[in-house]
A and B are shown apart, each in its own frame.
Chain A
């Protein structure tokens, strides 16, 4: 896979292109609406969903408040169970650790369980650069990998592809990666699934090294948990001799009892299933069963910096269910690639700028990739107030402010290119705080209304391209009130303190 997330254009430009891709729009609308309706039905089955949601948020918050404690407890438990723990401050360090661990085995091929953490750090590319081939074994990740493409959805990475496209990719590419697609492969789901199964089985049976992420890590026992639908993950977790798991540090939960909450929240929010088909748990190594060597790479990569932000840290509660993507009207039209990160949609719009820092045009544009409709907050199973964080990050873009980068407190400058907007916003706020000026401005607008243009120049052009501009009426409400009601009880005080 040669795709890269770096250098993606800023969101509005990328979205402008994808909204015009009618096939993409049709694929996305069909898929997201199907899954959102199913999720709503699955959630409605539980009377205590609101309590479960609050409990999930509370457990995650407790973990985040004492993350150091739980991680140390986890490390001790993993080590005691025969595993080895590695700490990675950033993507580069994580890739270096994993590459070295694979090299130690002498192997040149690895099988992979679908994992957001390894997408985040670009592990496949790093392994390829080191001469190691990584095989994705999740069906959708396989489609993405064979298509030399990028994932565009957290749960369904190939959501932007339809069946006919998948058939073409399988026919064209499978032979270059292993067992070719059967002759005369059609686009029926059963045939496509069977082709993938045969192709992947060869990989499972020959691989000596497996690489995974984890949905949860239980601190009290050092147990890792993967929740999946297809069973390919379990093959990768149990068959190889060496297992390397790369997991974000926020994935720890204190006890097994806490899992009970998340094993209800996650499948219903994600796949709209009451229970996912495969839940695999593993604790260190066990004689005569499973991998002989187990390595856990704990990934920071911007997470402790995010934790330092009291408003933004709630993004670390995320359990990667993707419910927010499936209800987001912006995601539905822009598609996942426009977000320039493995984390698309509303959660990506707040997670990516926090994990990476707001250094580039893409990261600065993501907090604005929302109409603040609030549908994402409504469906989030761990109650992340995504609109609140979006507005918080917008403030950082336009005003700058204190942040933590690489563990150090620093002050970021406002993003360039917002100077005119900042001036306009402050001028508007000043005008609104001076009713005398406001009234005169309104009267001027009313008096000159016949001269107003039908289409706007500059930033307003985008508005008037598809929408007619509102006409300014002859008389504002406040002038009507004064004309018909005379001086109101609060009367002329409207002008007081106007500082004109």
Chain B
């Protein structure tokens, strides 16, 4: 089994801790992790803003970077959803516009082997108890793309429920968007901020010490709003919780 980590551009630059946590977690579970350095961004910011053709080189790059691997694991629900939902569309449209079948072939290869981290743990490795220890109260926000595009269901919560010391608090209005939405946060700043404020209010109501998600992009928005409001609730990626052990609580 050759497992490649697709760390994603946001994690690479802004949240390298998450990538390091994924490596520590997977290696603890006996998986050999490789990091193809040819990888970069999945192209979601461009694609979702309407610049589809600008994403085509990134689809090709994804294919080149991960072609030889059986599995691609990424600590991002929305980047996994980008590959699984939108790469086939990009390929089909490129073919329809006369740019050959190369991109749809690349998408056909990439889609079935690309997994969001919690999916990979539960569906491929078939583990729910990853031997983690995290002595904190935590609430879980199911991010929209993980929830609706990938259909992660209760996989992340099942993993969290097996973490020793962790007390999971239910989040009111959990399935409502936090308001990030990539460039939406800039183009419709007022609505985005109002959505973020409501999400943070719900998080505070749980009384949890930390809020976790499967996506650091949503956490940047939620965390930024928490900080600006002077809240002490910590935004944490689920990988960092699952990587924590009695010996080293992250």
Contacts and interface: CB of A to CB of B under 8 A. Distances in A.
Nearest to A490: B36
Given A371-B184, A374-B144, A467-B225, A490 B34 contact: yes
B51 A11 contact: no
A468 interface: yes
A422 to B, nearest CB: 7
Contacts of B65: 490
A373 B176 CA distance: 8
A164 B194 CA distance: 26
**Interface majority SS (helix, strand, loop, mixed), chain A:** helix
Interface string B47-80: 1111111110110010001000000000000000
Given A445-B13, A491-B37, A368 B187 contact: yes
A422 B50 CA distance: 9
B46 A463 contact: no
A470 B14 contact: yes
Interface in A434-473: 435, 438, 442, 445, 459-460, 462-463, 465-470, 472-473
Nearest to A394: B50
| Residues of B contacting A: mostly | helix
Contact of A485 (B35, B144, B149): B35
A493 interface: yes
A19 B58 contact: no
A426 B52 CA distance: 10
A463 B53 CA distance: 27
Contacts of B221: 467
B57 A429 contact: yes
Interface in A396-415: 396-399
B49 A394 contact: yes
Interface string A313-347: 00000000000000001100110000000000000
Contact of A378 (B20, B148, B180, B185): B148
Interface of B: 7, 9, 11-17, 19-20, 34-41, 43, 45-55, 57-58, 61, 65, 89, 144-145, 147-149, 175-177, 179-197, 220-221, 223-225, 227-228
Interface of A: 11-12, 15-16, 19-20, 25, 329-330, 333-334, 367-375, 377-378, 388, 391, 393-399, 421-422, 425-426, 428-430, 432-433, 435, 438, 442, 445, 459-460, 462-463, 465-470, 472-473, 475-478, 480-482, 485, 488-494, 496
Given A11-B188, A330-B191, A477-B12, 12 more contacts: A330-B188, A372-B48, A374-B144, A375-B175, A425-B46, A429-B51, A430-B57, A432-B58, A468-B227, A473-B17, A478-B7, A478-B35
